[in-house]
Structure 1
């Protein structure tokens, strides 16, 4: 199945962690700004522009259902409704501002939608270690939120953990390999099964909250 190519993005700056009403207001402003950017722009996704950072995409792409089954083999963390009828998978890179835009757009759906976010190493040398830091964090959702807020405010993302294991780093590599097997070339890559129709689909690029809900059928 094909999805409409739509989306938008922001760019990045690092911020320290903070608490209280100011944080909530800042989140609201960032989310509103991200939504406005989506409305004003076309497809927005981050892709590797070098010859060596990522393998070439598969010549023959799998079907939408095959892509969903491949994505289900990845390693990620869950954000949203744990008991949701089905799962939306997202391949993301920690340096991607469009991924941060999608993260913000997904927040209003977290009570209805289960999303598994799977970090890959696509855009830079630090992407793998930052992705592993999020995946290995005691609270991956909080770590992801810290990274994406930093990216949206033009920061460098989350600080890398000095104690990353070979096992968690291997998970990022395996996710990147799955991303390539699906035939994708840019992030965020959203892979879903619509809860209402049962149809499968995938989309490369940030989308609005409403568009994400329509894809997932919630």
Structure 2
């Protein structure tokens, strides 16, 4: 049997692995950390998290999304998931992950009379030249709600999430599927089991 050097063996291994990879699609699925626990994320956010719902979600299949107001990829996910909100109920959980504006903007959203509307205003102002997103007065933000944002943040970390946005969807047969901004709207529709979705 011919002897292979360690370098030759590694080269052959990489080549074989590359040949076995599927052809890249238009988007990649969520990158799942090995420590991510989908059921724990689902149960923890529903039990101890504080979020807000997409409009008219009652009675529809449920999806949970952890996001940061300062995250451009979070804006991308919401843009892609929005056409599907007529079919599913999304609960958005703001966390403080990226910078000093994340928590007060999250608190501002949660304390508003219409959190989803303010969430959309955050998107509208995200590319403002002088400030990213909605303005806030930190002296008027209740500590009790600020603490809830930090509880969301702890849940995000403890269930093994290592990025934002990060979502989880529970299928009818009890599987917990991760998703993020890398999925297109059509791919998200497939993940959510929406059979009658047609891209507009």
Alpha-carbon spacing, 1:104–1:76, altered in 2? closer, same or farther (3 Å): same
The structure having more radius of gyration, on CA atoms, is 2
Corresponding residue to 1:119 among 79, 94, 115: 94
The residue matched to 1:117 in structure 2 has which SS? strand
TM-score (norm 2): 0.73
- Moved beyond 6 Å, runs of 4+: none
Corresponding residue to 1:185 among 159, 162, 180: 162
Alpha-carbon spacing, 1:64–1:205, altered in 2? closer, same or farther (3 Å): same
Is 1:202 matched with 2:169?
no
Q: Deviations over 1:69-127 (max 9, x none)?
A: 12223110000432234311100000101111111112211211100001000000110
- Asked which structure has the greater RCO (Cα within 8 Å, sep 6+), the reply is 1
Q: CA deviation at 1:206?
A: 4.2
Other-structure match for 1:32: none
Corresponding residue to 1:65 among 11, 36, 39: 39
Moved more, 185-194 or 145-154: 145-154
The residue matched to 2:168 in structure 1 has which SS? strand
Mapped contact 1:120–1:175 kept (Cα < 8 A): yes
Other-structure match for 2:193: 217
Corresponding residue to 2:120 among 145, 170, 173: 145
Moved more, 176-185 or 144-153: 144-153
Mapped contact 1:109–1:213 kept (Cα < 8 A): yes
* Equivalent pairs, count: 166
Structure 1: runs of 5 or more not aligned: 1-38, 46-57
Q: Deviations over 1:12-65 (max 9, x none)?
A: xxxxxxxxxxxxxxxxxxxxxxxxxxx5x76799xxxxxxxxxxxx9x735322
Mapped contact 1:186–1:205 kept (Cα < 8 A): no
Q: Distance in 2 between matches of 1:112 and 1:80?
A: 11
The residue matched to 1:72 in structure 2 has which SS? helix
Tell me how large the CA RMSD over aligned residues is. 2.6
